[in-house]
Amino acid sequence: MKKMIVGLFLGMFVIALSPLHASTYFGGFEDTVGGDYDYNDVVFSLSGTGLTLNSSGTWYPESAVTLGTSGTPFWNHASGDGPNYNVGYCIYGGGTCNGGTALDAGADFLASSTMGSVNDVTFTPVSSTATVILGITADSDEIGWYLASSPGTINWISGTDSFTPGGTFGLVGCNDWTGSRCADNPFYSQTVDGNNGDTISHFAFFGPAPTATPEPGTLAMVGLGLLGLVGLGRRKALQS
């Protein structure tokens, strides 16, 4: 009986370790105006049921960076908007941004293996809600989204907005608005027909690093093991 209880506990523990997809990410967008590349022209959150960030980049813990003006990681530059005003302070707190209150304390951040920007980010949704949380500068920057299968069609977000993409999607940032909307090059979260305007990704992303999901066969084996342990317990109970 003790073995059965231990087996059931271990099975429940393995299942409990099966991670759910992250549902909320924070990000920052930096336009070309001013060129300070602190990624705080627009700070936003993206959340939704089953939302998953797809990228070949590397996730680092908050402890891998000291906020300041070093430019490492790529979003940790001195800000032309004021002291201690880069997107790192918005996310992790302690600076001028957002009154010093962290938006996502302890979040991991996405970067290349050399702490550079990553220009290959898309999202896979079940359903999704995008929210622009905090606009830092007076620049008229905005965020939009597009389906990966149709990058030329951009759906611009005004303030708080919700949407259900129905497929893998990416984000677009823009400045220099006119009556025809984005007069300057839109900056995509992935390379799309060279439309990023330069070779630097203008997005920074923060959130929980993805973890490995157990294979279905592994969970099936756990289930069979639990059934076997239950059967063994019943057999011993009948024999006693």
Which residues are CB-contacts of 223 (< 8 A; sequence separation ≥ 6)?
A: 11
Higher pLDDT residue, 75 or 7? 75
Quote the DSSP letter at residue 80. Answer: T
Quick check: 27 and 126 in contact, CB under 8 A?
A: no
Q: Specify the higher pLDDT residue, 217 or 165.
A: 165
Q: Are 170 and 190 in contact (CB under 8 A)?
A: yes
Q: Model confidence over 98-154: pLDDT tens digits?
A: 889 999 999 999 999 999 999 889 999 877 777 777 777 666 788 899 999 998 898
Dump pLDDT digits (tens) for 207-222. 988 765 544 444 444 3
**154 — alpha (psi -120 to 50), left (phi > 0) or beta?**
beta
Tell me the one-letter amino acid at 238: L
CA angle at residue 127 from 28 to 155, to 5 degrees? 55
Is the model's pLDDT at 15 over the cut of 60? Answer: no
pTM value is 0.77
**146 backbone dihedrals φ, ψ, rounded to 5°:** -145, 150
